[in-house]
Amino acid sequence: MLDLNSQTAGFDRENNALVIIDQTRLPNEEVLLSLKTREEIFDAVKTLKLRGAPCIGVCAAIAMAVLSNDSTAQTEEAFIKEFEDNAAYLISSRPTAVNLSWAVNEMKKTLFSCKGQSLDNIKKALCDKASEILENDISTCKAIGEYGAKLLEKTDAILTHCNAGRLACIKYGTALSPVYVAKEQGHDIKVYADETRPLLQGARLTAYELTKAGVDTTVVCDNMSSYIMKNSLVGAVLVGADRIAKNGDTANKIGTSSLAIVARHYGIPFYVCAPMSTFDKNTDNGGGIVIEMRDEAEISEMWYEKRMTPEKAKALNPAFDVTDASLITAFITDKGVFKPEQIKDII
């Protein structure tokens, strides 16, 4: 069983299921879901029951193992065909997050490295790989936190956007990992969390996990960042990333680019925290990043008893924006801290 206090998702090998916390029910309900079919898993990713680039990647790997275990294919050829169909289907659920396709491709490499073996051996290898990816995520995120905590030794407060903490990964998180590691080291850092319209990941999820961990947390509206920085309430901005191009252009939750622009104006360091798996060596710059467009209802209806906007008013709902590399102070990764101009040499 998954421990809500320590992990966001897990691999129930005994019952062959992907187990997740339903993040659409937080903060008021803590609900575990046990997912076994590709339709259930696709829906969980698409509707943000599980979200956050690293978490999506880990869950995709587990999903491929779960679906492979349930395969009734009798030949290797049929098994591979079914695997590739499932892979394409899952990748289509969230096209912007590179971790999803990265994890599926890691599972595919494992599959092809086992060609010629029995299907039982292949299935076991896929399960072992999924478990390895999960454990690696935990160690990777802690490493991000350790590098980040060093940068924040003289910082008392930070601003963050969306949710790039434990709920976006398995443990620790990316942008919040330095806060958690610093706390473990005896340094308490206050966090200002953008509410993050329209899905309120900051208000619902970041505030939930931080307060649960005993971190001093203040939720602010997305349009308050200039006030926060002008009045020197924070010493840094830390955000996560869904995809980072070769030149350092970074796709993250809509509103991130605005924060970077404001931070540059006020001379506040702007850090992107991400594992190396989020860097996309096949995308030259931000112009090549596909931006997911989501349902207008998330803006006009989702959080209201009655529709909030007039029926004839349209709503534009991009899930992400791209922050220019020139606005990023540094990337805090599991391999160290790098300037944008160094990225092309390390991926």
Could you give the domains of the chain?
Answer: 9-140 (1.20.120.420), 145-346 (3.40.50.10470)
Q: Of these residues, 137, 194, 222, 242, which one is catalytic?
A: 242
Residues in the chain: 347
Phi then psi dihedrals of residue 268, to 5 deg: -95, 130
Phi then psi dihedrals of residue 13, to 5 deg: -70, -30
- Rounded Cα distance, 158 and 180, in Å: 13
Reply yes or no on whether 242 is catalytic: yes
Q: Is-contact 86 73, C-beta < 8 A?
A: no
3-state secondary structure of 149: helix
Q: Is-contact 274 239, C-beta < 8 A?
A: no
pLDDT at 294: 93
pLDDT at 2: 63
Both ends of the chain: CA-CA distance in Å? Answer: 36
Which residue type sits at 244?
I
Contacts of 86 (CB under 8 A, 6+ apart): 38, 63, 64, 67, 68
Residue-level pLDDT, tens digit, the chain, 347 residues = 566 667 899 999 999 999 999 999 999 999 999 999 999 999 999 998 998 888 999 999 999 999 999 999 999 999 999 999 999 999 999 877 688 999 999 999 999 999 999 999 999 999 999 999 999 999 999 999 999 999 999 999 999 999 999 999 999 999 999 999 999 999 999 999 999 999 999 999 999 999 999 999 999 999 999 999 999 999 999 999 999 999 999 999 999 999 999 999 999 999 999 999 889 999 999 999 999 999 999 999 998 999 999 999 999 999 999 999 999 999 999 999 999 999 988 98
**What is the pTM for the complete model shown?**
0.86
